[in-house]
Amino acid sequence: DYIEYIAGNSPFILSAPHGGSLEPAEIPDRTFGTTTKDANTEETARDIQAAYHLRTGQYPHVIICRLHRRKLDANREVAEGAQGNEFAVQAWNEFQAFIDSAKAAAVRSHGAAFYIDLHGHGHAVQRLELGYLLTASELDLPDNALDAAAGYRNSSSIRTLAAAAEVPFAEVLRGESSFGGFMEYLGYPSVPGVMRPTPANDPYFTGGYNTDRHGSRNGGTVSGLQIESNYTGVRDTDANRKAYARAMADAVARFSRLHLFNEVTLLRPAVRINEVLFDVPDDDAGTPAPEGDANGDGVRSPRGDEFIEIMNTGGDTASIGGYRLADRGLATFFTFPEGTRLAPNGVAVVFGGMGPGGSGPNVPAGTLVFAARPGIADSGFAVSASKSELLSAGDGVVLLDPSVNYAADEVCWGSAAVRTKNGRKLVAPNTASGDSIAGAIRQSVTRTVPGTGAWTSHRSVSSSPY
């Protein structure tokens, strides 16, 4: 009754050693070591189990210590954790044995597994602390140093997973595709992550006994980490716990698919930027039709006729609801409405604005057409009061895919350069995405082969905008 094992059928294993509340008289209070419980972590673990099933259709393996930490610390060596009491020792052994059983079952069914030891911290800085058995001073190192020496990877709790990943160790640890990167994207500040690569001088838990024993530092196909969850906004209310559980389930599913099982389809986005018109051609006063009127509203507008075109290069219909078009600072120009679907080889065009007049854009049949500011002719891709259009001298567009937390594609022109981190482009790995080309006066930039080719200037844009 002191240890609960909820068997699952997925490659995800979750343990909660410090959230129990039972205080049986047959087990005396521990006389040394930490005895404070991690408030609401047992409840959070159960919420994560339900959320993961809803997210994936599978159940995680969940192991919960129901004893108060005054009676048992299941994240310490048995001598400190149980302190010699036979009932506490039995409970400690059961807790560890259930994790071992869950690992064996998950590996038997899936070939590998991902383990999380769930905790709660009381530090002043309200963020998730992700423990990979690396110290704060090691996390202070730059990415290239972490990548250059295999010893850092091999001493981490994700040793096996990181060795098999298609991206460098630092990317798995704290890049856009890291667990912290996913949680940051979902609204939960995390360290290490993209925005917070190191705890610096703040308190930080590196990972404890369970992470060392059940992760892959010492080998094996089960990799894992310790999560110290902050209280405010995460564990403090039932609604916040359930929201956190949904984010956790989503992050675990995506991180595992990317790095544990190398499902490379997620690393090669099918939806790509195909053309950007950032400098609208001039109107020829000697002709009746307004040149540069790409959106077909009867008015040539230097901002409203700017457009960004994306293309589905894959063989399946793509759900692009929630995809965002943003500038290089990731400020959003436009978000595709929920339910938007793009057929194979289909194209969606987003104009800066579109007035009520004219015959509409001259685009191929089946093209999806949107406007960042519908009903307004002279309106562009605005991200602030000081920036209301794409800049001809140098700018860029980033396509953000919410399903994988990646910049699925990026193009820059003129004086602007693609975003990089330690020399790596911040786009999905293993793609040709993320290019920068010279500016093109009164022209667009487009691909030599629709959707997949290299970028070039579109020199006939005034007469053939698509």
Which tens digit of pLDDT belongs to each residue from 247-260?
Answer: 999 899 989 988 99
**At a CB cut-off of 8 Å and minimum separation 6, what does 289 contact?**
none
**At a CB cut-off of 8 Å and minimum separation 6, what does 144 contact?**
170, 422, 423
Q: And the tokens for 427?
A: 């786009």
Q: Check residue 330 and give its pLDDT.
A: 81
Angle at which helices 41-56 and 238-255 cross, to 10°? 50
CA-based Rg of the chain, rounded to a whole angstrom? Answer: 26
What is the distance between the alpha carbons of residues 375 and 377, in angstroms, rounded to a whole number? 6
pLDDT at 284 over 90: no
Which tens digit of pLDDT belongs to each residue from 423-434?
Answer: 446 565 444 455
Residue 138 backbone phi and psi in degrees, to 5: -70, -40
| Mean pLDDT value of segment 108-124 | 98
Q: Residue 108 CB: number of other CB atoms within 10 A? A: 9
Which tens digit of pLDDT belongs to each residue from 222-281?
Answer: 999 999 999 999 999 999 999 999 999 989 998 998 899 876 444 456 899 999 998 888
Q: Check residue 177 and give its pLDDT.
A: 86
What is residue 433's three-state secondary structure? coil
Q: Residue 430 CB: number of other CB atoms within 10 A? A: 11
Nearest Cα residue to 41 out of 135, 131, 122: 122
Q: Check residue 465 and give its pLDDT.
A: 44
Share of the chain above pLDDT 90, in %: 58
pLDDT at 99 over 90: yes
Confidence of residue 361 (pLDDT cuts 50, 70, 90): confident
**At a CB cut-off of 8 Å and minimum separation 6, what does 427 contact?**
406, 407, 408, 409, 410, 418, 433, 434
Angular region, 329: left φ>0, alpha ψ -120 to 50, beta rest: alpha
Distances (CA, A) of 336 to 172, 210, 310: 29, 43, 11
Q: Which DSSP string do the residues of 272-326 spell out, in sequence order?
A: EEEEEE-SPPPP-TTSSS-TT-TT-SS---TTTT-EEEEEE-SSS-EE-TT-EEE
What is residue 32's three-state secondary structure? coil
Which tens digit of pLDDT belongs to each residue from 387-413?
Answer: 778 888 888 899 987 765 567 888 888
| Mean pLDDT value of segment 55-76 | 97
Distances (CA, A) of 71 to 31, 74, 85, 93, 117: 9, 10, 9, 14, 19
Which tens digit of pLDDT belongs to each residue from 206-218?
Answer: 999 999 999 999 9
Return mean pLDDT, the chain. 88
From 105-119, 182-196, 252-266, 292-306, the region with the lowest mean pLDDT = 252-266
Read off the pTM.
0.67
**At a CB cut-off of 8 Å and minimum separation 6, what does 451 contact?**
272, 274, 311, 312, 313, 345
CATH superfamily of domain region 3-262: Zn-dependent exopeptidases (3.40.630.40)
Architecture per CATH, domain 268-458, reads as: Sandwich (2.60)
Q: And the tokens for 402?
A: 């919410």
What residue segments make up the domains of the chain, in order of their start?
A: 3-262, 268-458
| Mean pLDDT value of segment 55-80 | 97
Which tens digit of pLDDT belongs to each residue from 365-389?
Answer: 889 999 988 877 667 787 776 677 8
Confidence of residue 456 (pLDDT cuts 50, 70, 90): confident
| Mean pLDDT value of segment 34-56 | 96
Higher pLDDT, 222 or 415: 222
Contact criterion met (CB below 8 Å) for 414 and 435: no
pLDDT at 33 over 80: yes
Q: Check residue 464 and give its pLDDT.
A: 43
Q: Which helix (H) or strand (E) segment is 190 a member of? A: strand 190-191
Nearest Cα residue to 341 out of 271, 264, 254: 271
CB-facing half-sphere around the CA of 239: CA atoms within 13 A:
0
